[in-house]
Homo-oligomer: A and B are copies of this chain.
């Protein structure tokens, strides 16, 4: 049952609910796993949507889905159309979407009601309805197995507990399970970027900032626990993955080495592209401006989707990404030139020390 953390290829591909859409074979080649015991039905809360549409006399509805759920979009439209007045126009966003930080502002503006599926609210608004899509997978069986990787409650009574939105419906159950095993479960709602207590995002692990040396992450994939382990380097992060039925320990060493390599490579850079991301929840203008003001060879570039192709057009030696940190850490190797986080830039320029290196996280909303 115990496995090592598998080599990661492209984390963005297995992000969020998307991973639950992929075939298990695609992800777990060669790994020992339990038999799958869950179906894949989501509750899209259509009744609630229909009620709101009728009550508010909505004329235009915009729907947004994460990548892996886009193909379900047309079915949702059909089901909604059958239940709302004929004149209601329903549009689906075709823009890539990787989180609640990533709202399609064009469609939002065109819509009376905007429905964002698959993530929980980063900031509430009457016009935007978030439908998180909770998983129906059982969590206790894999947590039972994960106990083998934990220090016992006698030695380490405190344990942190975190999960993603998809499994938040089982959070009480998870907590109770650990308490029954004798642990004191330490949980918190990290900051205002998060909707729930114990919730983590790819860019925010403040909910694990608790008085415990070990943290259990219950959820699918390695994307979140690796971020968690990078932010909380002093904590042992045990992964109980009920989607793939795998228990493992988050090992961020490969990523940390990649960060060192990127910083090292960038040290010979003369010209820099400083990326300001225009996505609603990914803008850090001040961080970008600080670098621009410091370095006459740093050029401010504004972008929504940050892709290798788009940066290739600029003949620059290195980039700093002030947008989603996971693009930097996880997709970094796909870019032709080194890409750093803002803090890594300052390490590269010698203002900060390599020892101070920390994982780039996002706080607050917009």
Contact = CB atoms under 8 A, between A and B. Distances in A.
Given A78-B296, A94-B275, A107-B278, 7 more contacts: A71-B313, A92-B300, A92-B314, A93-B301, A94-B313, A94-B314, A106-B278
6 contacts: A74-B314, A78-B296, A94-B311, A106-B302, A107-B302, A305-B305
A156 B95 CA distance: 51
Interface in A253-312: 271, 273, 275-276, 278, 289, 292, 296, 299-306, 310-311
A74 B269 CA distance: 15
B74 A300 contact: no
Contacts of A316: 74
Contacts of A107: 278, 302
Contact of A89 (B73, B78, B292): B292
A351 interface: no
Contacts of A313: 67, 70-71, 94
Copies in the complex: 2
Contact of A289 (B89, B96, B302): B89
Contacts of A92: 299-302, 314
A89 to B, nearest CB: 7
A122 interface: no
Given A96-B310, A276-B91, A77 B304 contact: no
A276 B106 CA distance: 11
A94 B310 contact: yes
Interface of A: 62, 67, 70-71, 73-74, 77-78, 81, 89-96, 104, 106-107, 110, 271, 273, 275-276, 278, 289, 292, 296, 299-306, 310-311, 313-316
Interface of A is mostly: mixed
A8 to B, nearest CB: 21
Contact of A314 (B73, B104, B273): B73
A48 to B, nearest CB: 22
Contacts of A81: 296
Contacts of A305: 305
B299 A74 contact: yes
A205 to B, nearest CB: 28
A47 to B, nearest CB: 21
Contacts of A314: 70-71, 73-74, 92, 94
A90 B300 contact: yes
A308 to B, nearest CB: 12
Nearest to A306: B94
Contacts of A67: 313
Contacts of A276: 91
Contacts of A275: 94
Contacts of A96: 310
A300 B106 contact: no
Given A70-B314, A278-B106, A62 B94 contact: no
A278 B92 CA distance: 12
A104 B300 CA distance: 14
Which of A67, A299, A314 is packed against the most chain B CB atoms within 10 Å? A299
A106 B277 CA distance: 10
Contact of A300 (B78, B89, B271, B300): B89
A95 B315 CA distance: 15
Nearest to A94: B303
